[in-house]
Structures are given as C-alpha cells and as structure tokens.
A and B are shown apart, each in its own frame.
Chain A
Amino acid sequence: MKKEIIQAKGLSKSFAHNGGQIHVISNVDVSVYEGDFTVIMGASGSGKSTLLYALSGMDRATSGEVNLDGKDIVTMNEKELAGLRNTKFGFIFQQIHLVSNLTIFENIVVPGYHNRSDSRAEVEKLAESLMEKMNIKEIKSHLPAQCSGGEQQRCAIARALINKPSLVFADEPTGALNRRNTTEVLDLLTKCNEEGQSILMVTHDQRAALRATRILYLEDGKIVGEMTLPPYKAEDEKSREKQVGAWLSSMEW
C-alpha cells in the first residue's frame, strides 16, 4: 500500500464574478501518493491548475481540507505555508519564472540557502549535482535571459529539487517549450520519478501524460476519471500512447 503524501477532502474553490460565484473546483476528494508521477488532465478551464495550487497551498481553497503529515494546510498561516513551500514542495511553472537577475546557479541555491537545514556547502554540492543531472553545468553563471527556454526549465526543475521535497508540483512545465526541449524536460522528470521523486503535474499534452503512473481527469471542477499505469519505459511508448489515448477518448477528451 502506497503512502499518502497529501490527502484532500471536499476541496472547493470559487471566485466572485459579476456579483455571483464561479465554482472552479467543487467538492474534490483526492490523494497523492509517494513515488507516483501523477498527472491531472482536462479541457481548458476545467480547473486543473486551480486544483494544483489549492493542493500545494499556493492558493487557499474556499472550503475543504488538504492534509499533509496530519496537518491541514488550508488553515495554515502565511509563515507556515511559506515554510511548507520551501521545505516540502517544489514548483515548476509553465512560464518558468526564474528570478531574472540571479544566475542559473543562484536561482537553484537560493531556496536551499533560505531553508537553512543544510549547510551552505551541502546546498552548493547538491546544486552542482543537480546541474550535472540537468545538463546545465556549463551555463551555471549565465543569467536566465542568456539561456534557451529548455535550459531555463531544466534550471527550474533543479531549483524545485534543491530542498529534496516530498512532492514536486509542475504546472504545464512543457507548455512554453518546443518539441526538443519538451522531450528533454519530460525525460528529466521521468528520471527523477524513477529515482523516487513524487510528482504532481498538470498538462493537456497527451505526450506528457504518457510519463504518468497515475492520471486524474478533471471536468467542470470534478475528478471524473482515474487511470493507473506502470512506470514509463521508452520502448513501451507506442502501446502506452494507444492505451492512454483510448482512455482519454472515453473521457471525451
């Protein structure tokens, strides 16, 4: 039996609009398990990113609870949430969002320094090994503006991993990348997952979803379908594509 990292119950998120309320996600019950590469899919506006940010504490849910290590993150104060984001979670954004005035290396080490649980030398050692793994060691002293989109996103992955998080949230991490860079980034995420890193990714790219071990399908703010897959292997990609494609078709994708 897999261990739950986070468990959401009755999670809802609404926004005020023109005097009324828009319910983006309603009454969602979901768990994310250790070692899984979970992917959330759905049509545009289905509430995928909203669910991701509600689960990660980046955004407060309107109602419901999200339990992490026995604590409800919905009721946490700003300081506790900041601590959580720094130590327990890692984030990868579609628009990459590196700090533009920090070098690639600095972008990676800053959350590590801020964490303070490891020494400076340990943080830097880990950053070096992550850069090696992400193949960005050569550009460590470049500023983001001097790097390609793929290099920037690989840096963002390294940054997300620097504090050895329990779970990495990835919001359309390949959305702003070309085909070659997309494959590179997905390969890296898959490799991280193979090494035990739990990942929760939102995507509407079927190719990206092939990397998942578990896919959740969201429609009108509700989880309407779930499929589990064995760990990804490149040689199985064709059959996996058929399997996932068929399932997505059944979900009216």
Chain B
Amino acid sequence: MDMLILIKENIRHKKGSFKSIICLMFLISLSVTAIVSLKQNFPRSIREAYERQDVGNIVLNIRKEYCTEEGIREIEDYETVKKVEVIDAIAPDTYEFENGEGGSYSFRISAMNDRVDRLWKEDLSGYEENVLPLGKGEIYIPRGLAEKNHVRVGDRITLKFKDTSHVYAVKGLVEEPICGSVFITLKAAFIGREDFDALRSEREAAAQKDPLNAADLYEYVYITKADDCNLTDNQFSSDLTKNTKMASYASGLLTKSDSLHYQGMMPDIILNIFLSFVIILSVIVFVVMANSISSGIEMNYTDLGILKAQGFDSGSLKLLFLGQYMLAEFIGTVLGMLCSLPVIRYLPRVFEAVVGTKIYGGADILLSGLILLAVLLLSAVFIMLVSVKVGSISPIKAVNGGRMEVYFDSRFNIPIRGRLLSASLAFRQFSAGARRYLSSIAIASLFVFFLMTMTGMTDAVDSESAQRAMGATSEDIDIYRDYVEYSPENTENVLEQEAKIENLIREYTEIEERYFSDGKYMLLNGEKIFCRISEDEETFTVTKGRAPLYKNEILVGQAYAEDMGYKIGDKYTVSFKGAEAEYVISGFMVGLLDAGHFFGMSGDGARVLAEDYIPTYVGFKIKDPEKTGEICKRLEEELPESYYVEDIEAMESSEGELLTVIAYAIKAVIYTISILFALVVVSTVCTKTFVREKTDIGIYKALGFTSGNLRLQFAIRFLIVAFFGIVIGSALSFAFSEKLLSMMLRSMGIVNFVIDYRFMTVFLPAAAVALSYFCFAYMIAGKTKKVEVRSLITE
C-alpha cells in the first residue's frame, strides 16, 4: 500500500517524464504491432490467393513451338508431378495504353478462364466476386499493370504485332497473384474466349507466313506437385528441370515460392526498414529511461534519503522506480496496440498497389504482444540495473541537504568570450556537465545514423555512381531485336546492323559505353535462372574473384551463390535448349536482375552452348544525351521492323518512379517519427536540466541576462549536444550504413549497397537533428520566463 501511494505521488510530481515514456512506448508499440501483423498478413493473403486460383507449384512460360506433346507427357509422367495444365497465350511485340504508357515485352494475353474469379472494386477497397464475362473488344488486366502504367477502367490498350494491332477496352482489374506484382516483369491479361480464338488463329497464320511471328505464340504450363511430394517448390522445380527436357526451352520459370518472394519483396523490405528503425527507437527509449532514472535519483536525493531513514531499503526504492516506469510503459504499450488497429486496416492499401493482391487480416495481437512483453521485461531488467544507484544513497547526507553538485575542471573547457558570450557560456554549461548530456548525444547520433542511412538509400535511386556500383548499367539508348534462331547468316546480319547503328550514332555524338548483351533463362545446376550474357565483360559488377576471361567461366550473383553455397572455382553444368556444358565459377557479381538470382557469362561462353549465339540487345551511353531523341528517331527510320529502339530518359520506368515514391515516403515517415521522438527526448532532458539549473537561471537574471538571452543559451547548448551527436552519427553511418542497407536489401539481390555520399546526404540529417534539438530546447526553455530572481532570496 505504502509503495502504491509513493508511486502515485511520484507520477503526479513527474508528469513530464511519465508522459514522455508513455509517448515513446506508444510509438514503439504501434509500430511493432503494425509491422508484425502486416508481416504475417502479406504472405498469408497471397498464399490464400494462390490456393484459391489453384496456380500449381511451377509456371512455365514457353514458346508454343517448344511446348511439345512429348515434353508435356514427360512432365506429366514424372513421379513427383500430380497435374499439368497448359493454357494458350499470345505475346504481342508491344502494348500501349491510351495515356502513352506501355511496354515492349513480357506481356501475355490469355482467354478468360475460371481462375480469374475476383475483380477489384472501383474504389480498390476490395474485391467483387461477380466477374462479368468479357465481350468483344474488352480486356481484364491485373492491378499491378494498371498501377505501373497509371491506367483506369475504361482506358484503351493497343496490342501491337509486326503486321497488325488490336485495341481493347479495359473492363476491370483482376486479381492475378502469380505475376500481378509491379515488380514482376511478366504480366498476364485476359480477353474473351471469342476474341482470343480469333487472335490466336490470326497469329498462327502470321507465324506460318513469317517465322519471326512465331514469337507471338506462347503457352503457360502450370505444374502441380504430387500430394505426397515433400520437396519445397524450388527443390521440386530443380528436380523436375534436371530430369525432364522442356524446362530448358522455357523463356521463364516461376515457382510459387519465388513468386511469393517477389510479391512480398518490397513490403518486406519496407517493413524491415521500419523494424530496424523501431529497434533503434527502443534503444532510445532505454537511454531516455536511464537518463530519467539517473537524474531522478540525483535530484531527489534528499527525498530518497528520507525514505531510507524511514525504513525503506534499496530494494523497495528500486521497486518504486520499476513500478512507475513500468506503469508508463504498459499504458503506452496498450494505447499503441489499440491505435495500431486502424493502421493495420488501412496501411496495406499502400502495398496493395504494389503487390496487386488484397491484403487481409487484422492485428496479430498474440505475436506482437509477446514481442512487446519481451521489450517490457528487458526494460524491467534495465530499470533494475540503472536504479542500482539508490544503494549508495546515505540518509545522513540526505537530511543534511542532499548531495550538492560539484564541478571540476574539464579538459573540454574553452574560455568565456566577451563577443560570443551566449555561445561560450552554453559550451561551458555543456562541458561542465558533459556526462549528463551523454544520453542526448547518443540519441542524436542514433538519429543521424539512421537518417543518413535512409537518405543514402533514397539518394541511390537517382545516383548513377551508386547504381553502377550495385550492378546496374546506365544507358541512354536501348536497341533490341526479335529473336531469330541462331545461324551464321543471322550473326552476319546482326553485326552488319550493329555497325550501322554505331556509325549512325557517331554522326551525332560520341559513344561513351556500349553494352552488347542478352539475357536468357538457362539451367544452372538444374535451376532455371536468368543468365546475363555480355560481350563486354567489364560491364559485370564483380564483388569477389574476377570477370570471366575464358569461355568456360561464369559469374554468379553473390546473393544467389551464398544461398546455394556456391564457391569460386566450383564447376557446374549449364543447359540451354538441350545443349549443356560445364563451367567454372570465376567470381561473384551483384545486380538487381531477378532479385540477384542470376548468373553471367561472356559471349564466347554462350557460344559454347549455341554456336552462332549473337546478342539481341545493345545499349549505348552517349556523350551528348540531349541528342538521344533525335538519334532514336533516326534509328527507328533506318533500322528494319524487327528492331526496337527505346529512349531511356523519355520512357521513365514506372517501376523506377514507384520505387522513388516509396523510397521518399519511407524517408518522410522516418524523418517525421525521428523529429517527434527528438521532441519527446529533448523535452524530457531539457525539463530535467531546467529544474536542475533553476538557481543558475536566477543568478544570470540577477546579473542582467534576459529570458531571451538565457533561452538562446539553453538552445545553443543543445545545438552543441546535437553537434557531437552529428559527428558520432556520421562516423557510424560511414562505417555501418552500407552494411545495414545491404542486409536489409539482400532480398532484392543487393549485397553491397553503395551510398554515394553527397553534401545533402550528410547535411539533411544533420540539419534535421540540429534544428530539432535547437528548436525544441528553445521551446522548452520558454519556462525561463517563469523563473523569478526572487527564488534566490533566503528568508
């Protein structure tokens, strides 16, 4: 009972600290509950969509000419396969919406089927179960494609083929869980059965006339594993591709688990970023508590000593601190959990635009509760440890007026200057009690570190050098051509066109870099993964080992190699369209292709598998990018129809745009939370400092200083604190930010995140922290007005 009375009184007298802890724990609890719940709800919702649509475990995307009855039978007969379903598809050369946006490849049209059983409502709040049949000239597209191209229901899409084009009206947005995500290149759309049959017949006839048109005819092959097969989706895929032939000819292979990985990649990364931020915030709460308890003991030395004199032992006093802080934390935690409910309900809407699938589910109270309970327990141990100081309180000393503050010479002292009096007095106040500001410095440095990390991440979106270091290439002009079976004549023709392209570009400007390359899905050790083939080996971003020098060498994406346990010097078999050869891993590389799950070889290496291999793609970086438009126009006029020219700047990748928006949104949220946290932290520390220095404030006032002078002094002192935090935080960022980002973005294939440190990368976080500290301290120091010189009078 006596403890309860004391706890109640302590809370009443220290409302400020109590409120701060409630606020900080509220933010943490809200974030933890939202993040944990969303992390559970994402994969669960996507998996449910897979189950409902019965999408199988593997989807092959294969040209019709390679999808033979014999090949299908071989898969059907394989022991671990339960079911194979083949769905006809058509691949237009390009597609374009009426708003001008569109794409050039990886777009497949199928006939409407029973799998498509849910349409997004017009307000995108959920699904309509009643999917109306498609009439002539109508098309359903997945939401991911609509978001990527800023399309609305009713807009028109033109599917372009070499010899013709067809226009359809978008009737609705469908759920397409396998490749509906904005970040999966392949996109599926659906037209009515009648339209599809007519289009398919037309493309078959066109293919007979010109073999180039055979590339318009595709098949989706859905493969489901047997009920008794215990292999994971990827093991099943690997086993199947090793033991059957058809997968080696497929343009793409996507397992359900890979699809889930790609779908959830972006939300997962975002949630992981926030989770690491929350961990930092939790550390900050602990630091604030330590500061609050420690200064509380110093400032209430007399009261605590009197309590000791009345028979309270150190254990009871520790319980007193534990009780009041745990109560504050508990209140904050419960409030945070309650307020997370609307966040969990509405926040997924932001991610639904990215994944294209509705995210269901409420708060995962159990898991979040367990995590928060662990935080509370950890903090209880921490409070007990910090409050161990009460053991040294002496009742005799306490009743004799408590422990007076004693200052000693500090090595950091600088002389008091007449000119910069406020600043030098502020520095003295800081240096004389530097120990007291350690927690504020630590907090400022953590903020600066995290804000610099986030700024570095968002800066990378538009930093060419950072992107290059992470394996991206930068071109001004991309040119690719229709695939034609490799032959000496084709090679000759391509080289001739290549020479023509280069000459034509040189008429306008110099070519700075050329990327003569290709990308093919091949089997590496039985796994169907993307292979980047480059005629210019130096364009690979090698992280370990070296680029392939010999034709039997390959580079493997570092993230993939680490996942698979591949080492430099290992030998593996690579298969492509029935041919196979053994290659040695000469090194590891980085790149964003298929989230880092890719490998690379030289053109000569590719020619081991296909003798007359010649790349279908060439990219150019030119000296005068302003001439890009002009050059592209001229190339389009001069090159044959089977060549496609892209002006990279004019195209403005929608994925890139979305990534930028997401990155900036994360940065904005993190800056906002940091500033709010800084407000609470600075308020707590300032209030305590203020109470401690009330007499000094009175003395300065008696000497003729105004409240304004003293407020400025107070704010400058916290600016100095922020400065030290900025220095330490920047050093931490230089040492660890890239490592932290590499860890967080590993699922994207980025294992060596490179921050291109620019002025703003350091200045922005530094300014945010410095300004927050300065302004909030200035705000809190408004209380100096209330300090009367009369307080110095002893009567």
- For residue B370, CB closer than 8 A to chain A, the reply is no
How distant is the Cα of A123 from the Cα of B418 in the complex, in angstroms?
9
- Quick check: B704 and A93 within 8 Å, CB to CB? no
Give the residue of A59, A97, A101 whose beta carbon is less than 8 angstroms from that of B407.
A101
- Residue-wise, chain B 401-445 has the 8 Å CB interface mask toward A (1 for contact) of 000111111000001111101000100110011000000000000
Give the residue of B416, B432, B788, B792 whose beta carbon is less than 8 angstroms from that of A110.
B416
Give the residue of A53, A102, A159 whose beta carbon is less than 8 angstroms from that of B416.
A102
- Count residues on chain A whose CB falls below 8 Å from chain B CBs: 41
Residue of A nearest to B698 (CB): A97
Chain A residues near B405 (CB-CB < 8 A): 100
Known: A86-B703, A102-B428. A53 touches B793 (CB 8 A): yes
Give the residue of A45, A59, A159 whose beta carbon is less than 8 angstroms from that of B790.
A59
- For residue B113, CB closer than 8 A to chain A, the reply is no
**Those of A17-66 within 8 Å (CB) of chain B:** 44-45, 49-50, 53, 58-59
How distant is the Cα of A93 from the Cα of B703 in the complex, in angstroms?
12
- For residue B464, CB closer than 8 A to chain A, the reply is no
B420 shortest CB reach to chain A, Å: 10
- For residue B496, CB closer than 8 A to chain A, the reply is no
Residue of B nearest to A45 (CB): B795
- For residue B105, CB closer than 8 A to chain A, the reply is no
- Quick check: B428 and A97 within 8 Å, CB to CB? no
A75 shortest CB reach to chain B, Å: 17
Chain B residues near A123 (CB-CB < 8 A): 418
Give the residue of A87, A95, A111, A115 whose beta carbon is less than 8 angstroms from that of B794.
A95
B697 shortest CB reach to chain A, Å: 10
B763 shortest CB reach to chain A, Å: 32
- Count residues on chain B whose CB falls below 8 Å from chain A CBs: 39
How distant is the Cα of A91 from the Cα of B701 in the complex, in angstroms?
11
- Quick check: A110 and B425 within 8 Å, CB to CB? yes
Residue of B nearest to A116 (CB): B418
Known: A53-B789, A97-B698. A159 touches B704 (CB 8 A): no
Q: Interface stretch among A77-85, A178-186, A208-216?
A: A77-85
A14 shortest CB reach to chain B, Å: 14
Chain B residues near A101 (CB-CB < 8 A): 407, 428-429, 432-433
- For residue B707, CB closer than 8 A to chain A, the reply is yes
Residue of B nearest to A54 (CB): B790
- Name the residue among B428, B432, B703, B707 with the largest chain A CB count within 10 angstroms: B703
Chain A residues near B707 (CB-CB < 8 A): 78
Chain A residues near B408 (CB-CB < 8 A): 143, 145
How distant is the Cα of A59 from the Cα of B425 in the complex, in angstroms?
25
Give the residue of B404, B433, B703, B793 whose beta carbon is less than 8 angstroms from that of A49.
B793
Chain B residues near A97 (CB-CB < 8 A): 695, 698-699, 702, 792
How distant is the Cα of A116 from the Cα of B705 in the complex, in angstroms?
12
- For residue A175, CB closer than 8 A to chain B, the reply is yes
Chain A residues near B790 (CB-CB < 8 A): 53, 58-59
- Residue-wise, chain A 149-191 has the 8 Å CB interface mask toward B (1 for contact) of 0000000000100000000000110010000000000000000
- For residue B700, CB closer than 8 A to chain A, the reply is yes
Chain B residues near A106 (CB-CB < 8 A): 415-416, 428
How distant is the Cα of A51 from the Cα of B403 in the complex, in angstroms?
32
- Quick check: A110 and B793 within 8 Å, CB to CB? no
- For residue B232, CB closer than 8 A to chain A, the reply is no
Chain B residues near A50 (CB-CB < 8 A): 793, 795
- For residue B630, CB closer than 8 A to chain A, the reply is no
Give the residue of B696, B698, B701 whose beta carbon is less than 8 angstroms from that of A100.
B696
Known: A53-B790, A95-B794, A143-B407. A113 touches B421 (CB 8 A): yes
How distant is the Cα of A59 from the Cα of B707 in the complex, in angstroms?
15
- Quick check: B702 and A91 within 8 Å, CB to CB? yes
- Name the residue among B433, B704, B789 with the largest chain A CB count within 10 angstroms: B704
- For residue B706, CB closer than 8 A to chain A, the reply is yes
- For residue A133, CB closer than 8 A to chain B, the reply is no
Residue of B nearest to A47 (CB): B795
How distant is the Cα of A83 from the Cα of B432 in the complex, in angstroms?
27
- Quick check: B795 and A49 within 8 Å, CB to CB? yes
Give the residue of B407, B695, B706, B789 whose beta carbon is less than 8 angstroms from that of A79.
B706
- Quick check: B793 and A82 within 8 Å, CB to CB? no
How distant is the Cα of A145 from the Cα of B417 in the complex, in angstroms?
22
Chain B residues near A53 (CB-CB < 8 A): 789-790, 793
Chain B residues near A145 (CB-CB < 8 A): 404, 406-408
How distant is the Cα of A145 from the Cα of B406 in the complex, in angstroms?
6
- For residue A99, CB closer than 8 A to chain B, the reply is yes
Known: A97-B698, A100-B696. A85 touches B416 (CB 8 A): no
Chain B residues near A58 (CB-CB < 8 A): 702, 789-790, 793
- For residue A218, CB closer than 8 A to chain B, the reply is no
Residue of A nearest to B795 (CB): A49
Chain A residues near B695 (CB-CB < 8 A): 97
- Quick check: B704 and A85 within 8 Å, CB to CB? yes
- Residue-wise, chain B 445-482 has the 8 Å CB interface mask toward A (1 for contact) of 00000000000000000000000000000000000000
**Those of B682-726 within 8 Å (CB) of chain A:** 695-696, 698-709
A7 shortest CB reach to chain B, Å: 22
Residue of A nearest to B430 (CB): A101
- Quick check: B418 and A113 within 8 Å, CB to CB? yes
How distant is the Cα of A82 from the Cα of B711 in the complex, in angstroms?
14
Chain A residues near B696 (CB-CB < 8 A): 99-100
A45 shortest CB reach to chain B, Å: 7
Chain A residues near B406 (CB-CB < 8 A): 145
Residue of B nearest to A143 (CB): B407
- Quick check: A114 and B788 within 8 Å, CB to CB? no
- Quick check: B706 and A111 within 8 Å, CB to CB? no
- Quick check: B699 and A99 within 8 Å, CB to CB? yes
How distant is the Cα of A74 from the Cα of B405 in the complex, in angstroms?
35
Chain B residues near A67 (CB-CB < 8 A): none
B720 shortest CB reach to chain A, Å: 14
Chain B residues near A116 (CB-CB < 8 A): 418
- Quick check: A175 and B706 within 8 Å, CB to CB? no
How distant is the Cα of A58 from the Cα of B793 in the complex, in angstroms?
10
- Quick check: A85 and B433 within 8 Å, CB to CB? no
How distant is the Cα of A120 from the Cα of B792 in the complex, in angstroms?
28
Chain B residues near A99 (CB-CB < 8 A): 696, 699-700
Residue of B nearest to A100 (CB): B407
How distant is the Cα of A95 from the Cα of B795 in the complex, in angstroms?
11
B688 shortest CB reach to chain A, Å: 17
- Residue-wise, chain B 757-795 has the 8 Å CB interface mask toward A (1 for contact) of 000000000000000000000000000010011101111
How distant is the Cα of A114 from the Cα of B421 in the complex, in angstroms?
7
- Quick check: B407 and A110 within 8 Å, CB to CB? no
How distant is the Cα of A102 from the Cα of B427 in the complex, in angstroms?
11
Chain B residues near A120 (CB-CB < 8 A): 418-419
Residue of B nearest to A52 (CB): B793
- Name the residue among A59, A99, A115 with the largest chain B CB count within 10 angstroms: A99
- Quick check: A175 and B794 within 8 Å, CB to CB? yes
- For residue A244, CB closer than 8 A to chain B, the reply is no
**Those of A94-148 within 8 Å (CB) of chain B:** 94-95, 97-102, 106, 109-111, 113-116, 120, 123, 143, 145
- Quick check: B703 and A114 within 8 Å, CB to CB? yes
B791 shortest CB reach to chain A, Å: 10
Chain B residues near A93 (CB-CB < 8 A): 702, 792-794
Chain B residues near A143 (CB-CB < 8 A): 407-409
Chain A residues near B407 (CB-CB < 8 A): 100-101, 143, 145
Chain B residues near A83 (CB-CB < 8 A): 704
* Further pairs besides A82-B704, A82-B705, A83-B704: 17, Cβ < 8 Å: A44-B795, A45-B795, A50-B793, A59-B788, A85-B702, A85-B704, A86-B704, A87-B704, A95-B792, A100-B696, A113-B421, A114-B703, A115-B704, A116-B418, A145-B404, A145-B407, A171-B794
11 A–B contacts, CB within 8 A, in A order: A45-B795, A49-B794, A50-B795, A53-B789, A58-B793, A79-B708, A86-B704, A97-B698, A99-B700, A101-B432, A114-B703
Residue ranges of B at the interface with A (Cβ–Cβ < 8 Å) = 404-409, 415-419, 421, 425, 428-429, 432-433, 695-696, 698-709, 785, 788-790, 792-795
Q: Which 5 A-B pairs have the closest CB atoms?
A: A86-B704, A101-B432, A113-B418, A120-B418, A58-B789
